[in-house]
């Protein structure tokens, strides 16, 4: 009788642990499932092959990365301190070539499809269209580090150097 009570208690405890949301017994989400959502940009630092560091979008860049569950993504990033156009309207056609060039240099955008290599913890983005036409149809592969609500993507181009971008899950 005592053995039956211990067996019943053990079974109830095991079932209870299995249904707890944060339980180590509960199934772990895949990396892809963890990445789905909207991420706000925290920082973007580039290190050239010679070791020189640069913040292309400034010390306090603004941006968003959206990764949907269906495998589509959109990325927009920019310097919040970009100079305004001198034109009296907000039409790009009225900006000077110099104004438009300066604005474009301080802005980035692309969209396309994304996937994950679970084994090597990489995010693969296939650009459909990018702000820089030469990057249309290009693929970007980034190492992923995910800690809580912080996502760090590291891209190491074939030419050397690296780009480290940090995002925080949008609330």
Tens digits of residue pLDDT in 81-107: 998 888 777 788 888 899 989 999 999
User: Are residues 46 and 129 both part of a single domain?
Assistant: yes
Indicate whether 5 and 74 sit together in one domain: no
Same domain, 93 and 132: yes
- For residue 163, pLDDT over 50 is answered with yes
Question: Residue 80 maps to which CATH number?
Answer: 2.40.128.280
The mean per-residue pLDDT over the stretch 48-55 comes to 94
Name the CA radius of gyration of the chain, rounded.
23
108 and 66 inside one domain = yes
In this structure, the answer to whether residues 40 and 23 fall within a common structural domain is: no
The three-state secondary structure class of 31 is helix
> Does residue 99 sit in the same domain as residue 132?
yes
Query: Is the per-residue pLDDT at 113 higher than 60?
Result: yes
78 and 160 co-located in one domain: yes
What pLDDT does 19 receive?
A: 47
Mean pLDDT rounded to a whole number for the chain? 87
pTM above 0.95, yes or no: no
Domain count, the chain: 2
87: left (phi over 0), alpha (psi -120 to 50) or beta: beta
pLDDT tens column, 11-38: 444 444 444 554 444 469 999 999 999 9
Q: What is the pLDDT of residue 77?
A: 97
> 78 forms bridges with which residues in the sheet?
62, 107
Q: Are residues 76 and 132 in the same domain?
A: yes
Cβ-based neighbour number of residue 160 at 10 Å: 10
Q: φ, ψ for residue 148 (rounded to 5)? A: 60, -125
Examine the domain organization and report whether 10 and 54 are in the same domain: no
**Are residue 43 and residue 23 in the same domain, yes or no?**
no
Question: Residue 145 has what pLDDT?
Answer: 97
**What is the mean predicted confidence (pLDDT) over 66-93?**
90
Q: How would residue 1 be classed by pLDDT, with cut points 50, 70 and 90?
A: low
Strands 162-169 and 150-155: antiparallel
Q: In terms of residue numbers, what domain contains 7? A: 1-28
> What number of other Cβ atoms are within 10 A of residue 6's Cβ?
9
Q: In this structure, are 121 and 163 located in the same domain? A: yes
Q: Are residues 134 and 116 in the same domain?
A: yes
């Amino acid at each position: 009788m005592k053995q039956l009570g211990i067996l019943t208690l053990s079974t109830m405890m095991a079932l209870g642990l299995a249904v707890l949301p944060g339980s180590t017994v509960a199934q772990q989400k895949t990396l892809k499932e963890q990445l789905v959502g909207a991420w706000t940009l925290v920082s973007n630092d580039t290190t050239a092959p010679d070791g020189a560091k640069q913040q292309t979008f400034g010390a306090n860049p603004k941006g968003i990365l959206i990764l949907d569950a269906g495998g589509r993504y959109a990325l927009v990033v920019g310097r919040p301190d970009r100079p305004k156009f001198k034109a009296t309207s907000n039409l790009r056609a009225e900006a000077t070539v110099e104004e438009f060039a300066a604005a474009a240099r301080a802005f980035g955008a692309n969209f396309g499809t994304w996937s994950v290599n679970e084994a090597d913890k990489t995010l693969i983005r296939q650009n459909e269209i990018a702000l820089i036409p030469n990057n249309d149809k290009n693929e970007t592969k980034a190492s992923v580090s995910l800690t809580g609500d912080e996502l760090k993507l590291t891209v190491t181009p074939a030419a050397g150097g690296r780009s480290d971008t940090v995002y925080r899950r949008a609330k």
